[in-house]
Amino acid sequence: MHQGAALILAAGLVAGVASATFAAAEDDDDTLSRQALAAFRKGEHTQALKLAGEAIAKAPDKPEPLALRAQLHGAMRAHDKAAADLTAALELEKNPGARADLFQRRGESQFKRAKIKESIADFDAFLKVQTAQDPHHWQRGISYYYAGEFQKGYEQFERHQTVNPNDVENAVWHFLCLARARGIKEATEKLIPIEGDGRIPMMEVHALFAGKSTPEKILAKAGEGEAKGERLERQLFYAHLYLGLWYEAKGDLKLRDKYIGMAAAVADRHSYMGDVARVHAQLRGIKPAK
């Protein structure tokens, strides 16, 4: 999905919550937390976790050090440990707004663990407090797809369209849910029109789902021009992911497995949508391409 449309993306370690959490504090556990963040940013991951653990031990009644360590674990893709720390933090956190944030973060971790129903429960808990965020919450829509709650899924993406009108991915996920709920014919007829998504090859992807393009054109578009390195990989990642999803909608599981496997092979470098590719492969029993 568009980065600008993201509600809360776990795209590596950012200061984010940790900076806000520890900005005002001056005690010893805050110093340890700041040291942990600094160590992580220098690539000293083992030391960062050690310092975060010391901060937790010094302040066992505070949720903030646990939330920080969860952030570190998440950035290192240790999602089971991140979820466990967030659960412990929720047991200590009393502030409703802070609890909502923890539920959101744990929902992301649950999705990344392929715990789909659990992710929805946490996203629901977040939205119970942060009700105005409902139309922004495309992540819950994706979880609905994997939970088989297709009507809730396409309704979520219809609401998301009101706040993010130029995102091909939203139109595609709406299509995917509607196709499973009511059939491809209706999904094609009701494909959300998109005009302003400038990411390559997303408009070609939209044309494919509209029945006006081909997989060959998407792959050609993704690899054309002067793109190379990370940019080329990103373009091909999105081409492969959405080709895999398109073939799944069409019932061609052999080609679905091929393209999802290619997307999953580079998933760790592509933020939340990378996690979507990886979780999709895990849930469908698809091996990432070598």
Tell me the mean pLDDT in the region 28-43.
87
Tell me the mean pLDDT in the region 166-184.
98
pLDDT score, position 15: 37
pLDDT tens for each residue of 49-74: 999 999 999 999 999 999 999 999 99
pLDDT score, position 1: 82
User: For residue 201, is the peptide bond before it cis, meaning its omega torsion is within 30 degrees of 0?
Assistant: yes
pLDDT score, position 290: 87
| Cβ contact 37:15 at 8 Å | yes
Q: Domain 18-130 carries which CATH code?
A: 1.25.40.10
CA pair distance 278, 273, nearest whole angstrom: 9
| Cβ contact 101:21 at 8 Å | no
Tell me the mean pLDDT in the region 265-289.
97
| Cβ contact 145:153 at 8 Å | yes
Q: Where are the domains of the chain?
A: 18-130, 198-290
| Cβ contact 136:7 at 8 Å | yes
pLDDT exceeds 70 at position 119: yes
The dihedral built from the CA positions of residue 143, 145, 146 and 149, taken in this order, carries a sign that is positive
pLDDT score, position 227: 79
SS3 content of the chain, % helix, strand, coil (to 5): 75, 0, 25
**Could you tell me the pTM of the whole model?**
0.91
pLDDT score, position 30: 78
The secondary structure of 213-265, three-state, reads CCHHHHHHHHHCCCCCHHHHHHHHHHHHHHHHHHHHHHCCHHHHHHHHHHHHC
pLDDT score, position 11: 33
Confidence of residue 2 (pLDDT cuts 50, 70, 90): low
Closest CA to 243 of 262, 220, 215: 215
Confidence of residue 226 (pLDDT cuts 50, 70, 90): confident
Tell me the mean pLDDT in the region 167-194.
98
Size of the chain in residues: 290
